[in-house]
Amino acid sequence: MSRWHLVDAWRARLRALQPEVGLSPEGARYALSTALDAWDDLPRHMRRKHPGHTVLVCASTVFTAPLEWAAVVLVRGGRVTLKAPRARAGWFAE
């Protein structure tokens, strides 16, 4: 069963955040927007087989890296655990 509507709602919530990740506010916003825009192609992945559970380890220096992978697994019906870096744990929890 597709969960695209839930993933798209998550994307909307992420767009509303102002990440504080050591970049300028403009740079962080650009990085986040670029990562979230890449999700536009995700619906075409919905028919592929998915892993039941995926754990993604997140780097503190590339905060957007796990987002697209998490979305791919979620839209295909899988479950995701994000292992956030200590310095950014609060941002990933929002």
Per-residue model confidence (pLDDT) at position 91? 59
Percent of the chain with pLDDT over 70: 81
Domain count for the chain, please give it: 1
- Tokens representing 42? 């995700």
Q: What is the mean pLDDT of the chain?
A: 80
Q: 8-51: per-residue pLDDT in tens?
A: 898 899 889 887 778 888 998 898 898 888 888 776 666 667 77
Per-residue model confidence (pLDDT) at position 41? 75
Instruction: Please give the Cα distance from 19 to 15 (Å, whole number).
Output: 10
Instruction: Please give the Cα distance from 75 to 77 (Å, whole number).
Output: 5
Per-residue model confidence (pLDDT) at position 66? 84
Per-residue model confidence (pLDDT) at position 69? 84
Give the dihedral sign, CA 38/74/21/17.
Answer: positive
Instruction: Please give the Cα distance from 80 to 72 (Å, whole number).
Output: 10
Instruction: Identify the domain containing residue 40 by its residue range.
Output: 4-93
Instruction: Please give the Cα distance from 86 to 75 (Å, whole number).
Output: 27
